[in-house]
């Protein structure tokens, strides 16, 4: 089996950072009223700035595939061109369309010749699943290089006009036209952007990162859907997909908006996360004290202290000084977050040979978790 190295990393964050006070101007107010939940959510998540693919006039500047394409091109130069890519593996929670696949659209923008593509579906773990596909392709000897990406363009899913028909429908029913918190919550959590890794079977570059192992776990057999889009949740916990609703109800119910069951999130995201982390470390015979840098993708700083305590209670405590996070500055970029986080750690200049890095990505859609262990070479 081949060794696999991350030899180049890039990120692309569109336009200028958006402060908390600018968010509603960008996304728009619903029914002429500012959100009651916005300040509560922002106070808890402690995100200060994020990025939107929206200009100052409210126009869309990039779709999701274009964000990923920009990140991929930032990996390339005269010594490694986009035409040298053998495999393109792209993960996202927010594809621009149902079909064609996200990776096909990114490839279409790259125009870099005939290559293999892969599009894992899902939420935040889709970026890690894109990485694992590239990792296994090189490890097995199928390819000598792969480019893996995580990207999101959720801002257009959260704009006020997405909910306009729902609000108008509620008014016709003489109901209070207020947006349900499970939809409003995510409007103040998510950010746009993309990250990309170049994987190779040789330790090229100044400080290549060898991928030691990757592990994934799902708890969908135990827990119902928590974050979802393209459907609605029934009283029995099952999801009814958009294709089973009359088309006139798609807008009335905001079926294509992202929604979050906040209660279910709080009950499970940390306990299942630490349970899976413990399994991953034990399987690969690595101790918490072996980890130099711990990169946890968390959606909100609200979870940080409780995550640490849960780790401590289960014997997998990683000291605070080993944690590296950038949530407050770039926001929750979903599938792209771990790519952008690792890019910033590498760019910090603090890494040295022998350092071990643990990437940890949870996904609340139906509670999946993915891990990767890297060694600086």
Task: Check: CB of residue 210 under 8 Å from CB of residue 373.
Answer: no
- Vertex 17 angle, CA 13 and 19, to 5°: 145
Task: Quickly count: other Cβ atoms within 10 Å of residue 129's Cβ.
Answer: 26
CATH code that applies to domain 212-218+260-376: 3.40.47.10
Q: CATH 3.40.47.10 region(s) of the chain?
A: 5-163+178-208, 212-218+260-376
How many Cα atoms occupy the beta-carbon half-sphere of 92 within 13 Å?
Answer: 33
Supply 143's token pair.
């390819």
- Please tell me the distance from the alpha carbon of residue 251 to that of residue 163, in angstroms, as a whole number: 7
- In three-state form (DSSP H/G/I as H, E/B as E, the rest C), the secondary structure along 93-139 is CCCCCCCCCHHHHHHHHHCCCCCEEECCCCCCHHHHHHHHHHHHHHH
30 has pLDDT over 90: no
333 has pLDDT over 70: yes
330: confidence class by pLDDT, cuts 50, 70, 90? very high
Residue 351 φ/ψ, nearest 5 degrees: -75, 145
Supply 6's token pair.
């991350």
| Confidence (pLDDT) at 178 | 57
| Confidence (pLDDT) at 161 | 86
Task: Check: CB of residue 51 under 8 Å from CB of residue 71.
Answer: no
Task: Check: CB of residue 194 under 8 Å from CB of residue 150.
Answer: yes
- Please tell me the distance from the alpha carbon of residue 166 to that of residue 230, in angstroms, as a whole number: 15
| Confidence (pLDDT) at 6 | 98
Supply 236's token pair.
């029995």
Distances (CA, A) of 340 to 241, 303, 369: 32, 20, 18
Using the 8-state DSSP alphabet, how is residue 207 labeled?
A: S
pTM above 0.75, yes or no: yes
Average pLDDT score over the chain: 95
| Confidence (pLDDT) at 174 | 64
Task: Check: CB of residue 157 under 8 Å from CB of residue 189.
Answer: no
- Please tell me the distance from the alpha carbon of residue 219 to that of residue 217, in angstroms, as a whole number: 7
Instruction: Considering only residues 68 and 34, tell me which one the structure prediction assigns the higher pLDDT.
Output: 68
Residue in this structure with the two tokens 């704009």, named with its chain if needed = 159
Supply 195's token pair.
């990250």
3-state class (DSSP) for residue 330: helix
Q: Which fold has domain 5-163+178-208?
A: Peroxisomal Thiolase; Chain A, domain 1 (3.40.47)
Task: Quickly count: other Cβ atoms within 10 Å of residue 317's Cβ.
Answer: 14
What does the pLDDT average to over 104-132?
97
Beta-strand runs (E) in 140-286 = 145-152, 193-200, 209-218, 227-228, 231-233, 239-241, 259-260
pLDDT digits (tens, 9 = 90+) for 170-212: 676 666 555 667 788 889 999 999 999 999 999 999 999 999 9
Nearest to residue 276, comparing CAs of 374, 367, 375?
367
- Please tell me the distance from the alpha carbon of residue 151 to that of residue 289, in angstroms, as a whole number: 31
Task: Check: CB of residue 5 under 8 Å from CB of residue 372.
Answer: no
| Confidence (pLDDT) at 185 | 86
Task: Check: CB of residue 292 under 8 Å from CB of residue 322.
Answer: yes
Residue 319: left (phi > 0), alpha (psi -120 to 50), or beta? beta
How many Cα atoms occupy the beta-carbon half-sphere of 264 within 13 Å?
Answer: 20
| Confidence (pLDDT) at 181 | 76
- Please tell me the distance from the alpha carbon of residue 290 to that of residue 286, in angstroms, as a whole number: 7
- Vertex 38 angle, CA 37 and 43, to 5°: 105
| Confidence (pLDDT) at 184 | 84
342 has pLDDT over 90: yes
What does the pLDDT average to over 297-312?
94
| Confidence (pLDDT) at 160 | 87
121: confidence class by pLDDT, cuts 50, 70, 90? very high
What does the pLDDT average to over 60-71?
98
Task: Check: CB of residue 56 under 8 Å from CB of residue 9.
Answer: no
338 has pLDDT over 90: yes
| Confidence (pLDDT) at 32 | 86
Number of H helices, E strands in the chain: 13, 15
Task: Check: CB of residue 342 under 8 Å from CB of residue 359.
Answer: yes
pLDDT digits (tens, 9 = 90+) for 139-166: 999 999 999 999 999 999 889 888 888 7
């Amino acid at each position: 089996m081949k060794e696999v190295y991350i030899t180049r990393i890039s990120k692309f964050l569109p336009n200028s950072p958006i402060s908390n006070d600018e968010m509603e101007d960008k996304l728009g107010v619903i029914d002429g009223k500012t959100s009651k939940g916005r300040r509560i959510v922002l106070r808890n998540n402690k995100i200060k700035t994020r990025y939107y693919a929206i200009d100052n006039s409210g126009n869309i500047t990039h779709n999701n595939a274009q964000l990923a394409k920009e990140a991929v091109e930032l990996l390339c130069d005269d010594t490694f061109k986009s035409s040298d890519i053998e495999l393109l593996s792209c993960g996202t929670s927010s594809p621009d369309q149902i079909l064609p696949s996200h990776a096909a659209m990114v490839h279409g923008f790259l125009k870099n010749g005939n290559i293999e593509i892969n599009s894992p579906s899902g939420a935040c773990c889709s970026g890690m699943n894109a990485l694992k596909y590239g990792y296994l392709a090189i490890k097995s000897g199928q390819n000598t290089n792969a480019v893996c990406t995580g990207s999101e363009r959720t801002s257009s899913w959260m704009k006020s006009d997405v909910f306009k028909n729902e609000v108008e429908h509620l008014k016709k029913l003489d109901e209070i036209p207020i947006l349900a918190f499970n939809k409003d919550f995510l409007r103040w959590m998510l950010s746009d952007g993309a990250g990309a890794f170049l994987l190779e079977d040789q330790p090229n570059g100044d400080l290549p990162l060898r991928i030691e192992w990757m592990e994934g776990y799902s708890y969908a057999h135990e827990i119902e859907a928590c974050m979802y889009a393209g459907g609605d949740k029934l009283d029995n916990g099952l999801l009814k997909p958009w294709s089973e609703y009359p088309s006139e109800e798609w807008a009335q119910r905001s079926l294509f908006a992202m929604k979050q069951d906040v209660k279910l999130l709080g009950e499970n995201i940390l306990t299942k996360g630490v349970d899976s982390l413990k399994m991953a470390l034990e399987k690969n015979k690595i101790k918490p004290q072996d980890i130099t840098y711990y990169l946890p993708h968390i959606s909100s700083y609200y979870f940080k202290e409780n995550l640490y305590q849960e780790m401590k209670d289960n014997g997998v405590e990683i000291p605070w000084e080993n944690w590296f996070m950038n949530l407050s500055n770039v926001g929750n970029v979903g599938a792209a977050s771990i790519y952008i986080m690792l890019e910033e750690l590498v760019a910090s200049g603090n890494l040295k040979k022998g350092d071990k890095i643990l990437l940890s990505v949870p996904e609340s859609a139906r509670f999946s978790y993915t891990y990767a262990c890297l060694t600086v070479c």
